[in-house]
Every structure is written in structure tokens, then in C-alpha cells.
Amino acid sequence: MKHYSRREKEKAFEVIVSQYEAQLLRYVSRMIFNFDLAEDVVQETFLKLFKNWKDELAPSPQILSWLYRVAHNKAIDMIRKENRRINHQNNKAEWDKIDLEILHKEKSGISENALAAAEILNSLTPDEKQLVILKVYEKKTYKEISEITNLTTGNVGFKLHHIMKKMAKRLNKGEK
């Protein structure tokens, strides 16, 4: 393990941020449907990396998996925090309506089926949502998803199969 000077660590960190920031922002934005909050989550994720990473600080699959795990956990914390805040003022149905209104405004021009699929995705549990986003939107392999989620590769495949079947069934029935 190399010992970094503060400046060397900062330079290595800048390389990692430039390499992974966009994909983490895309991933977290899809989880929480709020770009400003997603930026906060990603910033906190990178701060945690800078403070806590002890191994070589260079782009690698290990760092990327770690970043996805931390970003996911921070996004879930942000969702819970926002839900508590919103639920204090409104009920859960109102929060879902706000999420979907934001989605419709940001995604205007996409098909009704795509909007319906996004609404179904939004209704999944956070763990289900994570798997779908990683596979469908982020185009991660089962192995990469396994490393990010700490699930076995077989379990990733099994869960994704059942989640996608559930989503397809709801989409065919016209549910949201």
C-alpha cells in the first residue's frame, strides 16, 4: 500500500471523481427523482471515499463497487429523510404524486409505456429498484451487481427475474 502525501491523494481523488461522478449522479437521480438531492448524495459519497479509503486511490472495479454501495445507502437515507419530512406535511400518496409530477416534467416527450414503467419502478422497494436500475439503466452485469449489492450472482439473477416479471405483469394490467 502506497503512502500518499495530501496533494497526491487530492490529485488521485480528482481522477476518481472525474471518472465516476456522472454515472453515480445518473444512478442516484434515478433512485430519488431529484437531481439536487442526487448531487448532495454523490458529493457525500465522494467525501466518504476521500476520508476513509485506505488502499491505492485509482479508478478500479473495487472502488466503483464501493461507491455504488455507499451512494445507494446514502440515497436510501435521503429518501427516508425526505419521506419523514414530507409525511409530516402530507401523506405518502401525496409524496408519490409529487415524485411522479417531477418525473413527468423532467421526462416530457417519452411514451406512455415508458412513463407507466417509471411509475411502476418508483413503486418498487428500494432494494428491488436498485437491482432494476443497475441492470436496465446502468447496464451492469450480474457479477458487477453482485459486487455492488453483496448478493450472490445467482441471487441477483433470481431476484431480477421475479422483479421484471412482476413489473411486466403490472404494466400489462395497466397498473401503476
Contact 78, 32 (CB under 8 A): yes
CATH code of the region 111-176: 1.10.10.10
| CA separation for the pair 118, 44 (Å, rounded) | 26
pLDDT at 152: 93
Question: Up-side HSE of residue 174: CA atoms within 13 Å toward CB?
Answer: 0
**Residue range 1-106 in CATH 2.60.120:** no
DSSP 54: -
Contact 65, 56 (CB under 8 A): no
At 9-22, the pLDDT tens digits run: 788 889 999 999 99
| CATH 1.10.10.10 residue window(s) in the chain | 111-176
| CATH 1.10.1740 residue window(s) in the chain | 1-106
pTM for this prediction:
0.67
Q: Give mean pLDDT, residues 152-156.
A: 93
pLDDT at 94: 55
At 91-119, the pLDDT tens digits run: 555 555 655 665 555 555 566 777 788 88
At 59-102, the pLDDT tens digits run: 888 899 999 999 999 999 888 887 776 665 555 555 556 556 65
